Amino acid sequence: MSLLRNLKAGKERIEVRQKICKEIADEAVAALLEEVELTPKPGLVDMRNNGSHLDLNIPMMRESAICLHDTFYKMADLHYDKSPTVLLREQFGAIGRIGEKRMYAVTNGVNTHKGAIWSIGLLCTAIARRKGDISFPQVLDDAAELAKLTDRLIPVQQTNGGNVKKKYGMPGAREEAQSGFPHIKNFSYPTYKKMRETRTSTVAKLLTLLALVSNLNDTCLAHRGGLEALDYAQKEAGKAIQNFSDEALFRLDDEFIKRWISPGGSADLLAATFFISNWISKNQRSVRYGEVDLYISGKSTHST
Ligand SMILES: CC(C)(COP(=O)(O)OP(=O)(O)OC[C@H]1O[C@@H](n2cnc3c(N)ncnc32)[C@H](O[C@H]2O[C@H](COP(=O)(O)OP(=O)(O)OP(=O)(O)O)[C@@H](O)[C@H]2O)[C@@H]1O)[C@@H](O)C(=O)NCCC(=O)NCCS
Ligand SMILES: Nc1ncnc2[nH]cnc12
């Protein structure tokens, strides 16, 4: 009898784990789609144009986001209810590299979401580690804990971010994650939270993107146009926050395209901000209304 009960409880635990990991991957992909569809974004692919990109477009960005579902699911599943270790860090990297390969296969070799596989992948592991019940900013601290561990299996390769780091000594995607995503913590998340109280959803999202562009050391901007482009983009985004209007954003988009610069790193962190924010609101709702108490770690796992 008790064996049967144990088997049943074990099966229920597996089902809960699968459900939570699937929801994490669903939300991660949804956040990537939310980012690409937001319009108008300066220099980035959106519904208005392909930004400063000859080789990217909306259908490709969407396909790329969708193909990463399995990658995010596997990253979450691997870390479910587990604290980071070097072995887990290396397995995380291996899953990410398979995700990158899949992305390049879908996009014919174009880099659409490499930064997102890293940043959002880390956030997936953090949420899974707490079985879905995570607060802000703990999600960032947990993600950083994994990011700081060494992956000895990373292949040596030249990257745009790596070249920028060498040339200008500037931190990039790796350092952003290892230091607990300070640009999400101090700029995008608080901006998004505050702006949603008073502005429309689209305006809140656009102001959040501008908050990122005006503060982030975006290696994509520096790679395309050097420190001058980075400085220009940061200053102009700051001005657009002060004088926000649709026209100002259209002008900024046109100007970024004329200069052929694109804030791809800010786009990734914007998607990461949507992901965290959507997850936390959903988690709080389920706790508040008792719809499903799946997200409350250590408590019962059935629907009420
Ligand atoms: C730690 C890694 C992220 C590798 O980082 P690294 O700096 O070595 O590599 P990059 O290839 O440059 O990728 C970094 C991507 O991160 C985004 N990003 C940039 N700045 C920041 C920042 N300050 N904070 C956070 N994120 C940032 C950005 O991604 C977006 O832009 C992409 C387009 O970039 P790029 O191809 O350079 O664009 P173009 O200008 O169009 O290129 P050209 O055509 O001109 O050549 C787009 O994909 C967005 O996602 C940066 O691109 C991590 O990947 C890693 O550890 N890699 C090693 C292999 C591995 O283990 N992978 C699995 C990791 S789970
Ligand atoms: N919307 C977008 N346009 C160009 N590069 C990106 N990288 C991530 N999102 C992007």
Q: Residue 286's pLDDT is what?
A: 72
The pLDDT of residue 301: 37
Model pLDDT, residue 287: 62
Which of 33, 38, 41, 45 to mutate to test ligand 2, by most ligand atoms within 8 A of the CB atom? 45
* Positive or negative: CA dihedral 173, 177, 178, 181: positive
Q: How many Å lie between the centroid of ligand 1 and the Cα of residue 293?
A: 37
> Tokens 């030249």 belong to which residue?
158
Give dist(CA 212, CA 266) in Å, integer: 6
Tell me the H-state helices in the chain.
2-37, 58-67, 69-79, 86-106, 114-129, 138-147, 160-168, 173-178, 182-183, 189-198, 201-213, 219-242, 246-259, 264-289
Nearest atom within ligand 1 for CA of residue 75:
65
ipTM exceeding 0.90, yes/no: yes
170/230 Cα distance (integer angstroms): 11
CA distance 105 to 109: 6
pLDDT tens, position by position, 245-266: 999 999 999 999 999 999 999 9
Q: Which residue has the least CA distance to atom 4 on ligand 2? A: 44
pTM over 0.80, yes/no = yes
Query: Which is it for the CA torsion 265, 224, 67, 45, positive or negative?
Result: positive
Residue 303 pairs with which residues in a beta bridge? Answer: 292
